[in-house]
Homo-oligomer: A and B are copies of this chain.
Amino acid sequence: MEFIDGKWKKKESPWEELTGDRLIDREAVVEGAVHSIRKMGEVAFLILRRREGLFQTVYENGQVEMPLSELKEAMTVRVRGLLCKEERAPHKRELRIRGIEILSSPAEPLPLAIDKWKLDTSLEAKLNYRPIALRNVKERAKFKIEEALVRAFRDFLYSQGFAEIHTPKIGARGAEGGANVFKLSYFHKPAVLAQSPQFYKQMMVGVFDRVFETGPVFRAEKHNTKRHLNEYTSLDFEMGYIDGFEEIMAMETGYLRYAMELLKNDYEQELSILQVQLPDVSRIPAVRFDQAKKLAAEKYGRSIRNPYDLEPEEEALIGRYFKEEYNADFVFITHYPSKKRPFYAMDDPEDKSCTLSFDLLFRGLEVTTGGQRIHDYHMLMEKIAARGMSGEGMEQYLDTFKHGMPPHGGLGIGMERLAMQLLGEENVREVCLFPRDLNHLEP
**Interface set of A (CB-CB < 8 Å, partner B):** 1-8, 10-12, 15, 31, 33, 50-52, 74-76, 103-111, 130-132, 134-135, 140, 143-144, 146-147, 150-151, 154, 158, 161, 163-172, 182-187, 189, 191, 193, 200, 203-204, 206-210, 215-216, 218, 220, 222, 230-231, 233, 240-241, 243, 246-247, 249-251, 253-254, 256-257, 281-287, 326, 332, 375-378, 395-397, 399-407, 415, 433-434, 436, 438, 441-443
Contacts and interface: CB of A to CB of B under 8 A. Distances in A.
Name the prevailing secondary structure of the A interface residues. mixed
Given A8-B247, A170-B218, A216-B166, A184 B189 contact: no
Given A193-B184, A206-B131, A284-B3, A107 B378 contact: yes
B108 A402 contact: yes
Interface centre among A154, A193, A250, A406 (most CB of B within 10 A): A406
18 contacts: A1-B326, A3-B286, A8-B243, A51-B161, A76-B240, A103-B407, A104-B376, A104-B406, A107-B378, A110-B403, A111-B403, A131-B206, A131-B400, A132-B403, A146-B166, A170-B182, A186-B230, A203-B443
Nearest to A394: B443
A234 B377 CA distance: 36
Given A169-B216, A203-B443, A215-B216, A12 B241 contact: yes
- 7 tightest A-B CB contacts, nearest first: A396-B443, A74-B404, A106-B404, A6-B253, A51-B209, A184-B184, A131-B203
Interface centre among A4, A131, A247 (most CB of B within 10 A): A4
A352 B50 CA distance: 31
Nearest to A282: B5
A146 B246 CA distance: 31
B33 A406 contact: yes
A434 B218 contact: no
Interface centre among A7, A105, A191, A441 (most CB of B within 10 A): A441
Contact of A286 (B2, B15, B443): B2
Nearest to A203: B131
Contacts of A132: 206, 399-400, 403
A189 B433 contact: no
B184 A434 contact: no
A367 to B, nearest CB: 15
Contact of A5 (B283, B375, B404, B438): B283
B400 A166 contact: no
A74 B376 CA distance: 12
A285 B168 contact: no
Given A208-B140, A443-B203, A33 B104 contact: no
Contacts of A230: 170, 186
Contacts of A103: 241, 406-407
A4 B140 contact: no
Given A106-B404, A241-B76, A400-B131, A6 B441 contact: no
Contacts of A189: 441
B375 A104 contact: yes
A73 to B, nearest CB: 8
Contacts of A375: 104
A375 B33 CA distance: 13
Contact of A283 (B4, B104, B140, B169): B4
A141 to B, nearest CB: 10
Contacts of A158: 151
A147 B130 CA distance: 32
Contacts of A50: 209
Given A104-B405, A247-B8, A403-B74, A164 B151 contact: yes
A11 B165 contact: no
